[in-house]
Amino acid sequence: MIIVLLGPPGAGKGTQGERLAARLDVPKIATGDVLRAAVRDGTPLGLEAKAAMDRGDLVPDDVIMGIMKEALASPAAAKGAILDGVVRTTPQADGVAAMLSDIGRKVDAVLLFDIAEDELVRRLSGRTTCDNCQRPFFGREPGELCAVEGHVPTGTLVRRKDDEPDAVRKRLQVYRDQTSPVINWYEEHGPRVVRIDAIGSLEEVEARALQVLGY
């Protein structure tokens, strides 16, 4: 299955994407991750992307879609993939659909992690982020070490300016402006968007998503 995840910042879709990927034994694919990997590996499209970044330009959409196409056509994604943060606008939804069609695949499910704005503001205002690996933490204070179980600490936790309450509300407004048309796009072109209640423990939210997917 090719599964697209939607949801506002702080809804937990990144964490749930990792959990679903592990449960379904498929890769979680994010645009930034595959772009960095292609640049690191020096693939032809990766070199093209690097040249654009070195010039200070945005990486062209066709290059990004080409890199995504390579990732989704790889043996690792033979059983499917979780697309996290790949579709944020209607042109991206259209681009992903066309790219998947080229390799004989399609989006099979769209999950929207749904949560009230006040809860998101509360969550994000209490979030800290590792200044090295960018991993988010909740209930941890700035200045603490980024200690992930089984790993040597790699950085220090900081509170990002865009996690302040006013900044969070602005981010949520941008998200709503971008995502409402995406939801409408999928409702028109398929598959339908299924809302997942994102309030609860990680296990509870994961169970809701798996139930929708038939597991």
Residues serving a catalytic function are 13, 88, 127, 160, 171
Helix (H, G, I), strand (E, B) or coil at 110: strand
Q: Say how far apart CA 89 and CA 79 lie, in whole Å.
A: 26
By residue count, the chain amounts to: 215
| Of 67, 99, 95, 82, residue with least CA distance to 26 | 82
Tell whether the torsion through CA atoms of 173, 178, 183 and 188 is positive or negative. positive
Q: Evaluate whether 109 touches 215 at the Cβ level (below 8 Å).
A: no
Tokens of 91: 């042109």
Q: Evaluate whether 138 touches 129 at the Cβ level (below 8 Å).
A: no
